[in-house]
């Protein structure tokens, strides 16, 4: 998940493949940021979702964000923070978060549980909850879910996640429902309330894939294809009542949503207004002032850097702060085809100063040092620092050499300022760094090309689901390198690492897999140093004094609105 941040998930999990149990496994490392995920295979999560003490109904909540989502069509959604807690789209499974900081739960959302398998993850069966309806009052069936998945194989799923599609159709021959074949490969619907997925290989991670917007139901008769971004039907507690594309979206109550069918969400506020025009500074000003509707507003950007100290000095404002770790890790990728000498890559790591970069980003309230590839919130994270900052050691590794390297990054004010800090730090060890800002709009396509001329490349990543496979294999599997569209920006390709990643991807014992991912993370850095982990992002944002029930989501690092209500 590159920036703009795509799907964020956090926690430590072991998938125990079972037909009737709740699986939970504690952290494999004692890092304070790591929690646990409970997987509800038994369907023991209650509905309706328990009420929030002190919650009141009515009023308006406001979500402030500095850009509009690219899509509302569920099969096109990947930037999950753009739509908060899926207040209008529901999926087969979903994440139930504890405002008190307890374990996150992966539960059945439209389905009664997180899935049933009896053959080691090759077949997964889901039964739908009763009385599920779209906002037009029509029933939601297994065929609607299958059809939604089918359209994700077409151009109507081009911008969404592709994990599920690749698992169902590794050959890539299926192109969606518009050519006559409406059921996707390896998907069946024995009845209106049952959907079955059958894979050629074990997919122990499938309950996580079922939580992607890919599994949002879409009725065939209401599929307007490219226009579905504007005509989507809601399956959650809220529906669209007004929209100014690119500017705002207002949600109102969905009268056909049945709380008895939903273990995750509430419907306290009358309306939820999304304002897509507020940058970081504007959000800070508006929520501090809290005038009118802004008393019920939540920020999605961190408090402006020049206001952090002022907020920290105010007990009244600190009472409205949502702060904590996020799963976002930033890296400087080292193009291993252009910088093949591992001693130079190690020297870059030793020369790098995280303290200077954290200061440039606004201090410890919004960033923490990263020394591992896996985020501390990912299962199996192993705390280590293979290259503590040591300029003298970097110089010894260089042995008098002064490598000339280009550093590519998006051309934005924040990134350009931070690039200057990075350049100064690396040059202190003897490197000659040329800054190469690239157009922010086309940045990922440029650096994803194997033919790029960047030696060092900025990137940011959040695991798409809580498993080491969603970080290490995506970022560092050499078998996935192609001419264009790479996410392995280091172009790192080691046969032994590739083999281990392929093995771990199908290991049904995810406890054992998690431990091995942590060990592999350390081995990759110690032996190959293909990148420089720089910082873990942290959230430090405000909500208005009239907002109740919100908390910092471990999935998104943004306010969770599932329990939110408007006071007064």
**Predicted confidence (pLDDT) per residue in 339-378, tens digit:** 999 999 999 999 999 998 998 888 999 999 999 999 988 8
Distance of CA 210 to the CA centre of its chain: 14
Considering only CA atoms, give the Rg of the chain: 23
Instruction: List the structure tokens of 373.
Output: 């590839």
User: How long, in residues, is the chain?
Assistant: 568
Q: In what order do the strands lie in the sheet with 123-127?
A: 123-127, 194-198, 187-191
Q: How deeply is 119 buried, as exposed, middle or buried, from its count of CB atoms within 10 A (0-12, 13-18, 19+)?
A: exposed
Upstream peptide bond of 9 is cis (omega within 30 degrees of 0): no
| Helix, strand, coil share of the chain (percent; to 5) | 30, 20, 50
CB-based burial, 367-395: b 16+ in 10 Å, e otherwise:
bbbbbbbbbbbbbbbbeeebbebebebbb
What is the rounded distance in angstroms from the CA atom of residue 40 to the CA atom of residue 180? 36
- The candidate with the shortest Cα–Cα distance to 36, out of 21, 45, 23, is 23
Instruction: List the structure tokens of 348.
Output: 């870059």
Q: How many CB atoms lie within 10 A of CB 35?
A: 21
Instruction: List the structure tokens of 297.
Output: 């507003």
Q: Are 184 and 171 in contact (CB under 8 A)?
A: no
Upstream peptide bond of 4 is cis (omega within 30 degrees of 0): yes
Q: Are 520 and 472 in contact (CB under 8 A)?
A: yes
What is the rounded distance in angstroms from the CA atom of residue 39 to the CA atom of residue 105? 6
- Give the position of tokens 């990075």: 422
What is the rounded distance in angstroms from the CA atom of residue 205 to the CA atom of residue 509? 11
Q: Where in the chain is the domain with CATH 3.40.190.10?
A: 43-273+543-566
DSSP SS3 for 197:
strand
What is the rounded distance in angstroms from the CA atom of residue 177 to the CA atom of residue 153? 8
Q: Are 191 and 179 in contact (CB under 8 A)?
A: no
What is the rounded distance in angstroms from the CA atom of residue 381 to the CA atom of residue 29? 6
Q: What is the pTM of this model?
A: 0.85
Would you give per-residue pLDDT tens digits along the chain (568 residues)? 443 333 333 333 333 333 334 443 323 222 233 346 789 999 999 999 999 999 999 999 999 998 888 889 999 988 655 555 589 999 999 999 999 888 889 999 999 999 999 998 999 999 999 999 999 999 999 999 999 999 999 999 988 888 899 899 999 999 999 988 999 999 999 999 999 999 988 898 899 999 999 999 999 999 999 999 999 999 999 999 999 998 999 999 999 999 999 999 999 999 999 999 999 999 999 999 999 999 999 999 999 988 999 999 999 999 999 999 888 899 999 999 999 999 999 999 999 999 989 988 889 999 999 999 999 888 889 999 999 999 999 999 999 999 999 999 999 888 999 999 999 999 999 999 999 999 987 898 899 999 999 999 999 998 888 889 989 999 999 998 989 888 999 999 999 999 999 999 888 888 889 999 999 999 999 999 999 999 998 999 999 999 999 999 888 888 999 999 999 7
- The candidate with the shortest Cα–Cα distance to 206, out of 113, 129, 130, is 113
One-character DSSP codes across 205-231: THHHHTTSGGG----GGG--GGGHHHH
163-169 long-range CB contacts below 8 Å, 24 or more apart? Answer: 163/209, 163/212, 163/464, 163/465, 164/209, 164/210, 164/212, 164/214, 164/215, 165/214, 167/199, 167/201, 167/203, 167/206, 167/209, 168/197, 168/199
Q: Are 189 and 220 in contact (CB under 8 A)?
A: no
Strands (E) in 411-503, as ranges, are 432-438, 456-461
Which residues are bridge partners to 139 per DSSP? Answer: 133
Domain 43-273+543-566 class in CATH: alpha beta
DSSP SS3 for 56:
coil
What is the rounded distance in angstroms from the CA atom of residue 7 to the CA atom of residue 330? 15
Number of H helices, E strands in the chain: 15, 22
Q: Are 566 and 56 in contact (CB under 8 A)?
A: yes
Instruction: List the structure tokens of 437.
Output: 């800002």
* pLDDT value of position 57: 97
Instruction: List the structure tokens of 261.
Output: 């069918």
What is the rounded distance in angstroms from the CA atom of residue 134 to the CA atom of residue 239? 9
**H-run or E-run covering 344:** helix 342-351
What is the rounded distance in angstroms from the CA atom of residue 378 to the CA atom of residue 327? 8
Four-point Cα dihedral 399, 419, 556, 34, nearest 10: 30
Query: What residues contact residue 316 under an 8 Å CB cut-off, 6+ apart?
Result: none
What's the CATH fold of domain 324-538? Answer: Dipeptide-binding Protein; domain 3 (3.10.105)
At 541-568, the pLDDT tens digits run 999 999 999 999 888 888 999 999 999 7
What is the rounded distance in angstroms from the CA atom of residue 375 to the CA atom of residue 470? 11
DSSP SS3 for 438:
strand
């Amino acid at each position: 998940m590159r920036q703009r941040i795509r799907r964020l998930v956090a926690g430590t999990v072991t998938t125990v493949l079972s037909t009737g149990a709740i699986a939970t496994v504690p952290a494999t490392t004692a890092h304070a940021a790591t929690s646990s995920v409970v997987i509800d295979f038994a369907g023991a999560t209650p509905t309706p979702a328990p009420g929030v003490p002190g919650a009141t109904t009515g009023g308006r909540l406001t979500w402030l964000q500095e850009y509009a989502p690219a899509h509302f069509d569920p099969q096109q959604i990947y930037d999950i923070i753009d739509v908060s807690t899926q207040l209008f789209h529901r999926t087969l499974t979903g994440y139930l978060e504890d405002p008190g900081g307890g374990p996150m739960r992966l539960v059945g959302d439209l389905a009664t549980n997180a899935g049933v398998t009896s053959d080691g993850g090759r077949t997964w069966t889901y039964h739908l909850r009763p009385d599920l309806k779209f906002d037009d009052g029509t029933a939601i069936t297994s065929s609607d879910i299958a059809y939604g998945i089918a359209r994700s194989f077409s151009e109507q799923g081009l911008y969404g996640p592709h994990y599920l599609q690749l698992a169902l159709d590794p050959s890539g021959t299926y192109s969606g429902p518009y050519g006559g074949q409406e059921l996707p490969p390896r998907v069946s619907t024995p009845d209106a309330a049952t959907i079955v997925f059958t894979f050629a290989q074990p997919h122990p991670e499938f309950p996580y894939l079922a939580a992607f917007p890919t599994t949002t139901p879409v009725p065939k008769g209401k599929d307007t294809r490219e226009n579905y971004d504007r005509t989507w039907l809601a399956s959650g507690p809220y529906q669209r009542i007004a929209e100014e594309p690119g500017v705002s979206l207002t949600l109102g109550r969905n009268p056909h949503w049945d709380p008895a069918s939903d273990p995750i969400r509430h419907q306290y506020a009358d309306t939820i207004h999304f304002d897509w025009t507020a940058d970081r500074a504007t959000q800070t000003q508006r929520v501090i002032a809290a005038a009118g509707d802004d008393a019920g507003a939540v920020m999605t950007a961190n408090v402006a850097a020049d206001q952090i100290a002022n907020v920290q000095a105010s007990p009244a404002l600190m009472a409205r702060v949502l702060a904590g770790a996020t799963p976002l890790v930033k890296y400087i990728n080292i193009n291993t085809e252009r910088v093949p000498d591992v001693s130079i890559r190690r020297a870059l790591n030793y020369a790098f100063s995280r303290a200077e970069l954290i200061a440039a980003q606004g201090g410890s309230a919004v960033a923490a040092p990263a020394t591992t590839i896996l985020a501390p919130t990912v299962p199996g994270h192993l705390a280590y620092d293979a290259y503590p900052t040591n300029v003298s050691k970097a110089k010894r590794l260089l042995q008098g050499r002064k490598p000339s390297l280009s550093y590519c990054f998006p051309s934005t004010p924040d990134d350009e300022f931070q690039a200057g800090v990075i350049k100064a730090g690396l040059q202190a060890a003897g490197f000659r760094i040329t800054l190469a800002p690239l157009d922010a709009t086309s940045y990922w396509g440029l650096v994803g090309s194997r033919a790029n001329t960047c030696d060092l490349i900025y990137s940011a990543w959040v695991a798409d689901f809580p498993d080491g496979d969603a970080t290490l294999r995506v970022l560092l599997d050499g078998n996935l390198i192609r001419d264009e569209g790479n996410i392995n920006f280091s172009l790192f390709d080691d046969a032994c690492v590739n083999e281990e990643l392929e093995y771990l991807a199908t290991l049904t014992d995810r406890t054992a897999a998690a431990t091995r991912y942590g060990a592999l993370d350390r081995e990759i850095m110690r032996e190959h140093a293909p990148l420089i982990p720089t910082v873990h992002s942290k959230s430090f944002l405000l909500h208005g004094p009239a907002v109740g029930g919100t908390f910092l989501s471990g999935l998104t690092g943004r306010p969770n609105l599932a329990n939110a209500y408007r006071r007064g």
